[in-house]
Amino acid sequence: MAARYLITGGAGFIGRHLCAELLGAGHDVRIVDSFVPQVHGDSGQAPADVEVLTGDLRDTDLVHRALEGVDGVFHLAAEVGVGQSMYEIERYVGGNDLATAVLLDQIARSPIQRLVVASSMSVYGEGLYEGPDGTRFEAVRRVLREGQRDWDPRGPEGEPLLPVATSEDKPVDLASIYALTKYAQERACLIVGGAYGVQTVALRLFNVFGPGQALSNPYTGVLANFGSRLLNGQPPMIFEDGRQKRDFVHVRDVATAFALAMHAPHVDGQVLNIGSGQDYRIETVARLLADALGRAELAPQILGKARAGDIRHCFADIGRAKAVLGYWPAHRLEDSMEEVVEWLSASQAEDGGEHARRQLEERGLVA
């Protein structure tokens, strides 16, 4: 049955793909977006065939209007960027947590049936690890020092640890302001949803990639950052040694997961990982993209330094999302390079990577 849905941040990278997913299923879509230049450029455009409300979620009147007549809400709007969050603290807390509070205050006064909120893998801090004897370590933290070259966490006796897939049962360990705000968004939605009878689901997204990502935003996804550098004839810039592992999930798989979460039964109160279930070394990803673009000579620039708030390894155990949502990712990173190259080749990007690095170094946030 057709329904009307509100997507906050609906003109963003994930939001645009979710709009297409919902419209393709015959639903009506309304979006709210502030069209921040860092994300959208100076001439941000809304998706076609949707109702658009332009403004900030901290505007109570705007949010009240946005919720009128909708059956469910996808809450995607957020400031995004681990590094930037460490020196624009007020911006991130206001844009993520205060905005969510205004939205929830209005949802509590409305007949909304379901809320699906975008959370983040960043809430885990370091992922899950095992010691040589199979002992699991759920609360691993690194102490980063200037001149450090051994980037991997170690056990209490200095023993090497093996990164393994991180499940939703791992306790959170908030290592950045961004992670703090995303966890606050997640928990606030679940608390208010439970109190007011709004079925609520939180999706912890891993590294999302795909066509349409903001290439000129140095705080966006890793693949887009690498693509922006390569398009400008610059090598991909990698902190630490490039051997850190992440999970890369295609944006269309993410959009499908959101749609499933809005309609699946028995999901109220659930927190679910949305990733690919695969782990990739960051340097491998950079070389894969450079090769696909025909720029193999631009070997990654390995900085040998770490940013405050960064973690070493984290990739997803997606077993719960498969069981609860019927979610099965269909677009592997290595099989998506042709599509990514086609998008990059038709794009223009201003490389902001060096500026972003200087911002962090000037504030003592790189070791």
Nearest to 201 by CA among 107, 99, 23, 325: 325
Mean pLDDT lowest among 138-147, 193-202, 215-224 = 215-224
Neighbours of 274 (CB within 10 A): 27
Confidence at 350, pLDDT banded by 50, 70, 90: low
Percent of the chain with pLDDT over 90: 70
Whole-angstrom distance, CA of residue 6 vs CA of residue 129: 38
What average pLDDT score do residues 326-350 get? 86
Whole-angstrom distance, CA of residue 316 vs CA of residue 123: 13
| DSSP line for 322-342 | HHHH-------GGGSHHHHHH
User: What is the value of pTM for the model shown?
Assistant: 0.92
Q: Are 324 and 263 in contact (CB under 8 A)?
A: no
> What is the sign of the dihedral through the CA atoms of 120, 126, 131 and 132?
positive
**pLDDT value of position 55:** 96
Tokens found for residue 257: 């997961």
Asked if residue 222 has pLDDT above 70, the reply is yes
Residues 6+ apart with CB under 8 A from 296: 287, 290
Q: Are 268 and 325 in contact (CB under 8 A)?
A: no
Confidence at 286, pLDDT banded by 50, 70, 90: very high
What average pLDDT score do residues 8-33 get? 96
Say what the alpha-carbon torsion angle 244, 79, 31, 212 is, to the nearest 10 degrees.
Answer: -40
What residue ranges define each of the domains in the chain, with the CATH number in brackets? Answer: 4-362 (3.40.50.720)
**pLDDT value of position 362:** 56
Say how many residues make up the chain: 367
Amino acid at 95: G
Percent of the chain with pLDDT over 70: 89
User: What digits encode the pLDDT tens for the residues 28-48?
Assistant: 999 999 988 666 654 457 788
Mean pLDDT lowest among 120-124, 274-278, 318-322, 346-350 = 346-350
**pLDDT value of position 307:** 78
User: Taking all residues of the chain, what is their mean pLDDT, rounded to a whole number?
Assistant: 90
Nearest to 300 by CA among 243, 348, 344: 243
**pLDDT value of position 143:** 74
